[in-house]
Amino acid sequence: MLRCSTSPWSADLADLAAEIGRVGPFAERFHLDVADGHYVPAMLFFPDLVRALRKHTAVPFEVHLMTVDPLAWVEPFIDAGADSVTFRHDSAPEPGRVIEAIKARGKGVDISLLITEPIERLEPYWDGLDLATIVATAMGIEGASMDASIPDNIRSARATIAARGLATEVEVDGGIRRQTVPLFAEAGAAASCISSVWVPSPCPARPRAGSRRGRSPGWPR
């Protein structure tokens, strides 16, 4: 079973504080997608909004930077209350500098890979990662279906992590459905980012089928 990193992308954006309070008791983390309208054709979340939401829950915030300049946003979002920062590998000319900036603030580090990017892209950075996220759908499109290559990508990442003797975990972002959760878990993923199948539910516990509570030492608190 997988841990849940819950995205409020599908929440009632006019009443986010209440939505965070409603879903918080069922979430291990909140996954906050930051989109700048350039890297992906959407605009979501910003530091002042994260700061405002931080007052309403003690659940850790996992900020996912879908921006053209992730390094520029590390400090603002950590100052706003991020517990970990995810950034896109292909958005950073020097991923190592982004990792160093996050580590310098004592926060969790995660790099996410597109469907088309091989796991080997992470080769220089594994030792600095708490989490590796595999994006399972087209980037920035809410409700898209899982790409068929994703379970094998997860297995490849897990094999590399095991060979290096690391504690890095694998998270899947996108394509989370009742029928895909067992596939991700069997392949070795530790966590899933849940959005459209979670927040709209009148009973937040129901979409947890196939997932479980419980935080890992690999996830900063």
Q: Is 147 a catalytic residue?
A: no
Please give the structure tokens belonging to residue 209.
Answer: 């089928």
> Catalytic pick from 15, 33, 90, 152?
33
Q: How far is CA 104 from CA 17, 75, 91, 97, 125, in A?
A: 30, 10, 20, 10, 16
Q: Is 173 a catalytic residue?
A: yes
> Catalytic pick from 36, 83, 110, 173?
173
Closest CA relative to residue 215, chosen from 108, 114, 111: 108
- How far apart, in whole angstroms, are the C-alpha atoms of residue 39 and residue 20? 26
Which residue type sits at 174? G
The set of catalytic residues is 33, 173
